[in-house]
C-alpha cells in the first residue's frame, strides 16, 4: 500500500517530470558498496558526493562504519555480512544500477557475500577499489581477506584500481616505478579483471596512473598538486570511474574523465579539520570545467 505522503510525493515528482523538470526514466544509477567515513571525505560519503556531482543517482550498501576524521580512523564497526548482502539485494532488485563499485570490505565474510550478491545477478559494470589500509595507516581489510579478494571479487571486476601498496600486495613484489606498475598490471589482470588501473598517487613526482586492457598500456599523467588535503582521493577516483561508466562511457574514457575529476577535486581541496582535509567533489561541472577558482 502506498502511504498518503508517499502518494503525494509521487504525484509531485510525476508532475515535475511531465513538465520536463526531471528525467527519471533516463537518469544513470550507480551503487557503492563500501564503508562509511563519518568525516565525509572518503568512503560512502565521497562516493555519493561524486555520483551526485556527476549527475548520477547514487545508492549504497554499507559494509562498515568508521569513526573517522581528517586525523585518522578512531574505530571500525563491521556490518554483518548477511546484512550487506541484504542491502545490495534491496537496491539491485528494485532500483537497479548501471554500474557499481566496491571500496572498504573489511573482512572475508563480507567479500564473499558481496561476490555472491553480484555474481548471482550477473552484474557486469563493476569497479573494484581493493582498499586495504587507510591513508592514515589504519587497516581496512583483514590480512587474511586478501586472498578472498583475489579469489572471489577480482574475477567479477570490469576494472580494478589498486594504489601502489595494494598493487604490491596483490602482485607479490615491490612496485616502485612505472616499469613495476606495468608488470604488476599484467599479473593482476591475470586474476580476472578486464582492465587494471594502477594509481601512482604515492610515487614521487608527477601523478601518473597506468591503465592496462591486456594489450595496451596508457599512462595518465597530471602535475602533482602540492596539498596535504588528499583524504579520499582513491574513493573519489573509483567513484568517478563508476559514475562515468553508469553514464555509458567506455572504460578508457571513464578512467580518463575520472582522472580529470579527481585532479580538479584535489586542486580545489578543502582545508577542513586539523589533519589531511578532503578533496572538493563540488569543484566540477558537467562540461568538464572546474567551477571554483
Ligand X SMILES: Nc1ncnc2c1ncn2[C@@H]1O[C@H](COP(=O)(O)OP(=O)(O)OP(=O)(O)O)[C@@H](O)[C@H]1O
Enzyme catalytic residues: 199, 230, 232-235
70 binds, among Mg ion, ligand X, none (CB under 5 to 8 A by kind): none
Query: Which run of H or of E encompasses 22?
Result: none
For ligand X, the closer CB: 60 or 263: 263
**CB of residue 165 vs ligand X: minimum separation in angstroms?**
7
Task: Report DSSP state, residue 79.
Answer: P
Query: Which run of H or of E encompasses 209?
Result: strand 207-212
Helices 251-267 and 233-246, packing angle to 10 deg:
140
**CB of residue 136 vs Mg ion: minimum separation in angstroms?**
12
- Binding status of residue 278 toward Mg ion by CB under 5 A: no
Q: How many C-beta neighbours within 10 Å does residue 260 have?
A: 16
**CB of residue 250 vs ligand X: minimum separation in angstroms?**
18
3-state secondary structure of 154: helix
Sequence-ordered alpha helix ranges (H) in 69-201 = 81-92, 108-119, 146-148, 164-171, 178-189
Please return the burial class of 147, using the count of CB atoms within 10 Å of its CB with bins 0-12, 13-18 and 19+. exposed
For ligand X, the closer CB: 232 or 277: 232
For Mg ion, the closer CB: 58 or 234: 234
* Rounded-to-integer distance, Cα 60 and Cα 252, Å: 25
63 binds, among Mg ion, ligand X, none (CB under 5 to 8 A by kind): none
Task: Report DSSP state, residue 11.
Answer: H
156 binds, among ligand X, Mg ion, none (CB under 5 to 8 A by kind): none
Residues that bind ligand X (CB under 6 A): 42, 135, 163, 199-202, 207, 209, 222, 224-225, 230, 232-235, 237, 259, 262-263, 266
230 binds, among Mg ion, ligand X, none (CB under 5 to 8 A by kind): ligand X
114 binds, among Mg ion, ligand X, none (CB under 5 to 8 A by kind): none
For ligand X, the closer CB: 247 or 268: 268
For ligand X, the closer CB: 29 or 135: 135
**CB of residue 238 vs Mg ion: minimum separation in angstroms?**
8
The backbone region for 169, taken as left when phi is positive above 0, alpha when psi lies in -120 to 50, beta otherwise, is: alpha
CA distances from 276 to 71, 74, 97, 114, 261 (A): 7, 15, 32, 30, 19
List binders of Mg ion among 229-248 (CB under 5 A): 234
Task: Report DSSP state, residue 128.
Answer: E
**CB of residue 254 vs ligand X: minimum separation in angstroms?**
13
Query: Which spans of this chain sit near Mg ion (rule: CB under 5 A)?
Result: 234
Amino acid at each position: 500500500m502506498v502511504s498518503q505522503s508517499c502518494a503525494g510525493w509521487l504525484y509531485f515528482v510525476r508532475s515535475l517530470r511531465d513538465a520536463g523538470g526531471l528525467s527519471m526514466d533516463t537518469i544513470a544509477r550507480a551503487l557503492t558498496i563500501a564503508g562509511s567515513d563519518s568525516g565525509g571525505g572518503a568512503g560512502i560519503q565521497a562516493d555519493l558526493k561524486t555520483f551526485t556531482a556527476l549527475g548520477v543517482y547514487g545508492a549504497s550498501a554499507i559494509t562498515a562504519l568508521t569513526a573517522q576524521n581528517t586525523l585518522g580512523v578512531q574505530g571500525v564497526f563491521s556490518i554483518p555480512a548477511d546484512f550487506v548482502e541484504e542491502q545490495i539485494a534491496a537496491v539491485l532488485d528494485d532500483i537497479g544500477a548501471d554500474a557499481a563499485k566496491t571500496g572498504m570490505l573489511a573482512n572475508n565474510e563480507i567479500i564473499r557475500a558481496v561476490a555472491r550478491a553480484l555474481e548471482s545477478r550477473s552484474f557486469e559494470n563493476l569497479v573494484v577499489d581493493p582498499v586495504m589500509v587507510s591513508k592514515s595507516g589504519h587497516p581496512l581489510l583483514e590480512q587474511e581477506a586478501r586472498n578472498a579478494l583475489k579469489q572471489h571479487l577480482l574475477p567479477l571486476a570490469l576494472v580494478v584500481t589498486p594504489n601502489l601498496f595494494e598493487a604490491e600486495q596483490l602482485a607479490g613484489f615491490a612496485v616502485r616505478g612505472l616499469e613495476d606498475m606495468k608488470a604488476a598490471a599484467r599479473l593482476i589482470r591475470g586474476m580476472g579483471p578486464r582492465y587494471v588501473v594502477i594509481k601512482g598517487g604515492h610515487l614521487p613526482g608527477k601523478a601518473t596512473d597506468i591503465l592496462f586492457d591486456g594489450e595496451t598500456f596508457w599512462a595518465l599523467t597530471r602535475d602533482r598538486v602540492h596539498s596535504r588535503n588528499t583524504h579520499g582521493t582513491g574513493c573519489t577516483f573509483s567513484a568517478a570511474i563508476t559514475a562515468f561508466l553508469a553514464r555509458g562511457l567506455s572504460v578508457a574514457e571513464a578512467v580518463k574523465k575520472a582522472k580529470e575529476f579527481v585532479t580538479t577535486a584535489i586542486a580545489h581541496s578543502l582545508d577542513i579539520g586539523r589533519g589531511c582535509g578532503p578533496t572538493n567533489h563540488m569543484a566540477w561541472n558537467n562540461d568538464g570545467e572546474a567551477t571554483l577558482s
